[in-house]
Structure 1
Amino acid sequence: MTYPELYILRHGETTWNAENRMQGWLNSPLTLKGEADAARQGAILRGRQLDGFAYLCSPSGRTVQTAGIACAQIAEAVHTDIRLREIGVGDWAGRLRDELPQGTGNDPYMAQYEMAPNGEGIAVLSARCLAFLTDLSGPAVLITHGITSRVIREIVVGPDALSNPSIHGGQGCVYHLKGGVQNLLT
């Protein structure tokens, strides 16, 4: 399937990111570094041609805060869509990653999301992201989360989207997806 042109932002660093806590559907505010991450993303976007783009954001406080900083000078409105929220981590929300069982396999980091008791799981997140992408009617700037961004990028671009060494990151940068190709803008 062909998808519209996308710019994808991950929210800036939060206090829980800095503490290495699982956030999921819970929220923590941006740190000063996180505010700088969002400002850097705004500078990247201001250098792009975004006429006709929709601006869509997860309803989580950290993404709304990021959108307010990154898109303030360029977006007339930013609309929220719950399908852009982060993967649910169930009973592990708010817990320090180091206190949790470690995942195994090729990607132990992602394996933790499958292990989370009462968590959403990657398959459910993927279905949610696919439904969101199917409903897009034109180009968009998306302000979302690390794992949600990863899943959206893999759906649109394929496994090559995850070959970048910072697949779990994205704070302070912007992913540009067009014609099945991903570019990391820094």
Structure 2
Amino acid sequence: MGLVRRLLEPDIEAHLLTVEGEVVIDEVHKHWAATFWWYCLIICSIPLFMFMVPAGRAFWLPMILGLAALGIGVWKVHVAYMDRFVITNMRVFRVHGVFNTNLATMPMSRILDISMSQSFDGKICGYGHFVFETAAQDQGLREIRFVGNPQQRDLTIQRVIQLSGLRQTMSVDRWDDGADEDPDGT
């Protein structure tokens, strides 16, 4: 993979343990709501560029402001695009960064609890935030923000944990809720 391509697209496949049989179950991009305000900043650069004409000799001021707004907006959108949360059959990991790649990983066996929070905005737009709890005090993968369709992603993680045999399953046929007994116990 060339340098330019590595700067434009994160290489998820390079982090997989393919020899061990690891496969990607779900690759999660940031939800569009994470970049909404940065797109607004990009759009705000258009009037700044248009204001260069009536500014006359001071055209450089709206030009610099427009270039700054455009540059910052494009950069922040690209940083969010390069941030990926990946669910595999063995672990969950997050890859982010443009020039420096950061990788945080957690095996499925270490996940004790997954909390999902959804603000009012998140309910309307369809995103949420995950918090992973483990027995470790300090961990590299704790909070994943702006996850699209969080209920489905939570079920995917729970399904992978269950299918890997890391959690016990209660036998339903042995469950006796006492519904067929009379209230007096006879």
Which TM class, normalised by the smaller chain length? under 0.3
Which has the greater radius of gyration? 2
Q: Which has the higher contact order (CA 8 A, sep 6+)?
A: 1
Q: Which one has the bigger strand percentage? A: 2
